[in-house]
Structures are given as structure tokens and as C-alpha cells.
């Protein structure tokens, strides 16, 4: 969002415009259509739909923080793993809904500790620390399992159908979108957009940049932990290497960048083609996934740095300018005149 648009948002307050109501109505219709997917598709198609919904939740929650602040967080796997292990570790001790709440609390606490330690400094230090966070937590979990005498993973047995997993992730994704929409219209979102444009200017404007970043980082990371808790029963077996794989963090960032980080719905545009293409790569090139992931990242950065939504907006702007500039010429020609007449 540009500075002019941001100023307009601040000036309009909390009033919901007709355009926003229309977008909310369209979103509600799309949500209803998406909810019908398990009733129409099954088997392999439904598994792909679950993957798309899972990564949409991850990429959108990642965008809540990294989109407005321009801080690249590579810590998704850490919070995903925390959510998985919270559910897996307590599956025999508490009801599943309670474990999901515990996963959210655990993710929020870890995010608060990490945010307070790293978000008071420049973004590059945060990127480096977030990259190593998943490995740090993985090593801690491996050590704990060694101390407890269980070197293997943990089995998670909950009777859930595939449609149930899909609907749970769909509801989580819808909540993330609503929270993102609300943040975008709030004073917190306004402050974060100023931070993303120029953090020094934000400081001089009197914005507590550290507090704003930590709050949004906690919100974003909490959703990633909840998603991990929802996925744990579907995977059935949780171990540190899988739960805290840094591969997941890079995939989420690439999907969000592919779709575009300037619109809340951008990750959805990036997740769908990426999941489908990645499925083909996993089938035909299973031993080259890491290499091809790096190639995908380079192509996105150098070919479409603003993502698919950026391409759509650029094409729309060019079309609008072209239509506006050619309008008077068409009018003159229609009346049988030349431009110099």
C-alpha cells in the first residue's frame, strides 16, 4: 500500500466503505464455495485441497507480519513444530480442543520471547535468528527425547476424517483473513505500514516500533502453531526432523512472494500454482527438490519480484491509463476530426 493510500485509510477511521463490504461479501461467497470441496471431491484431489488450505494458512499468517514490516521471517517451522509437539505430547492427557489452545499459548510465548530478543534491532539480525530458531528448537526437542529415553517420535491417534481436516484448516484460514483485514484497518496496521516504509520515520513519528512488531509477530506465530496442532493428527507421527524442517519455512516464504506481499489475498494466488507444480516435482524429481526450491526462489526474486498480484495490478494500471489516454482520441475520430483540427 502506498503512502497516499495509507493516509487515506488513517483519515477514514474505522468506517467500512462500500468497496470493503463488497470484498467481504465476495470473500464469504468464496468461503462457502471452498467449504463444498470435500462434498464434491475425494481421494487424491481432496488431499491436494488440504495441502493448499494448509499452506494458505501458513503463508497468510506469515504475511500478517512480514508483509507490512518487510521483515523476512524464516521461523514458520519452529512454531509449526511447537504446535505439533504440544498436541502430540498431550494427546493422552487432555481433550483435543484444549490442546489446540495450549498450542496457541505455547506459540505465543515463544514468539514473545523471540520478538523481544530480536525485533528491537535491525531486520537482518532478525532474519538470521529466525532462520536458526527452528534448528535450535529441534535440537532442544531431540535432547529432551533423549533425556526421557524416547529417541523415536510420538504417535498421534485421533479419529478424524479427511474432510474434517480440510474444514478445520478452512476455518483457521478464514479467521486469519479476518484478523488480517481488521489489523489492516487498525492503528496497529497503520503503524506497521509506516515501519515498513521507513522505520526511522516511524520512530520520529512517536510510534513504539518494537512493541508494534512484537505484537504482530506474536499474532502471526500463534496462527502457525495452531496450524501445526491441526495437522499433527493427520500426519499421525511426529518427530523433530519432520516437525521443525526448515524446508517448510522456505516454502512458505516462496509461496507468499510468488503470490505477492502487498495484498492479503496474495498468498492464495501463490499457494495454488506452487502446490500443484511442487506435487509434480515431488513425483518426477524427488531427489532434486532442494535444488528446484532454490531455483524457484531465484526466479521469483528476479522475474516477478512483486508477485502475481503485482503483475495483475500493473496490467490493470496500464489498461486504465491506456483507456484514459485513448478516450479523447476516439472521441475526435468518431466526430470525423483529427487531433490538429
Nine-digit cell at 104? Answer: 496457541
Q: For residues 7 and 302, which has the higher predicted lDDT (pLDDT)?
A: 302
- Percent pLDDT > 90 in the chain is 22
Asked whether residue 226 carries a pLDDT value surpassing 90, the answer given is yes
The winner for highest mean pLDDT among 62-76, 97-111, 135-149, 247-261 is 97-111
Q: For residues 204 and 328, which has the higher predicted lDDT (pLDDT)?
A: 204
Beta-strand runs (E) in 17-161: 154-155
How far is the CA of 88 from the CAs of 84, 220, 265, 286, in angstroms?
Answer: 6, 22, 31, 28
Are the C-beta atoms of 199 and 83 separated by less than 8 Å?
A: no
Asked whether residue 274 carries a pLDDT value surpassing 50, the answer given is yes
Mean pLDDT of 138-163: 78
Supply the pLDDT for residue 151. 61
Supply the pLDDT for residue 21. 78
Q: What is the pTM of this model?
A: 0.82
In this structure, the strands spanning 154-155 and 237-238 are antiparallel
Are the C-beta atoms of 213 and 119 separated by less than 8 Å?
A: yes
Q: For residues 99 and 192, which has the higher predicted lDDT (pLDDT)?
A: 99
Supply the pLDDT for residue 337. 43
- Percent pLDDT > 70 in the chain is 86
Beta-strand runs (E) in the chain: 154-155, 237-238
Are the C-beta atoms of 198 and 123 separated by less than 8 Å?
A: no
Asked whether residue 8 carries a pLDDT value surpassing 70, the answer given is no
Amino acid at each position: 500500500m502506498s503512502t497516499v493510500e495509507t493516509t487515506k485509510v488513517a483519515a477514514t477511521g474505522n468506517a467500512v466503505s462500500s468497496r470493503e463490504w463488497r470484498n467481504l461479501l465476495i470473500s464469504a461467497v468464496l468461503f462457502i464455495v471452498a467449504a463444498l470441496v470435500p462434498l464434491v471431491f475425494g481421494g487424491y484431489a481432496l488431499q491436494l485441497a488440504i495441502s493448499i488450505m494448509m499452506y494458505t494458512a501458513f503463508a497468510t499468517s506469515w504475511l500478517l507480519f512480514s508483509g507490512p514490516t518487510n521483515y523476512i521471517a524464516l521461523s514458520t517451522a519452529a512454531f509449526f513444530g511447537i504446535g505439533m509437539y504440544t498436541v502430540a505430547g498431550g494427546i493422552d492427557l487432555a481433550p483435543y480442543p484444549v490442546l489446540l489452545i495450549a498450542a496457541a499459548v505455547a506459540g505465543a510465548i515463544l514468539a514473545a520471547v523471540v520478538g523481544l530478543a530480536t525485533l528491537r534491532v535491525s531486520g537482518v539480525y532478525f532474519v538470521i535468528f529466525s532462520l536458526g530458531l527452528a534448528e535450535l528448537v529441534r535440537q532442544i526437542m531431540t535432547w529432551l527425547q533423549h533425556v526421557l529415553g524416547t529417541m523415536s517420535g510420538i504417535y498421534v491417534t485421533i479419529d478424524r476424517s479427511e474432510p474434517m481436516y480440510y474444514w478445520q484448516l478452512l476455518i483457521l484460514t478464514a479467521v486469519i483473513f479476518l484478523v488480517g483485514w481488521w489489523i489492516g484497518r487498525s492503528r496497529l496496521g497503520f503503524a506497521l505500514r509506516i515501519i515498513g516504509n521507513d522505520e526511522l520515520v516511524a520512530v520520529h513519528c512517536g510510534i513504539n516500533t518494537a512493541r508494534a512488531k512484537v505484537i504482530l509477530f506474536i499474532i502471526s506465530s500463534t496462527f502457525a502453531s495452531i496450524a501445526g496442532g491441526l495437522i499433527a493428527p493427520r500426519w499421525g507421527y511426529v518427530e523433530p526432523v519432520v516437525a521443525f524442517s526448515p524446508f517448510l519455512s522456505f516454502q512458505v516464504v516462496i509461496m507468499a512472494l510468488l503470490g505477492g506481499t502487498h495484498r492479503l489475498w496474495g498468498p492464495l494466488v501463490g499457494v495454488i500454482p506452487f502446490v500443484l507444480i511442487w506435487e509434480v516435482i515431488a513425483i518426477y524429481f524427488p531427489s532434486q527438490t532442494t535444488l528446484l526450491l532454490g531455483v524457484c526462489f531465484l526466479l521469483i526474486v528476479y522475474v516477478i519480484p512483486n508477485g502475481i498480484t503485482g503483475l495483475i495490478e500493473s496490467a490493470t494500471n496500464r489498461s486504465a491509463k491506456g483507456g484514459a489516454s485513448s478516450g479523447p482520441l476516439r472521441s475526435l475520430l468518431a466526430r470525423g476530426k483529427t487531433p490538429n483540427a
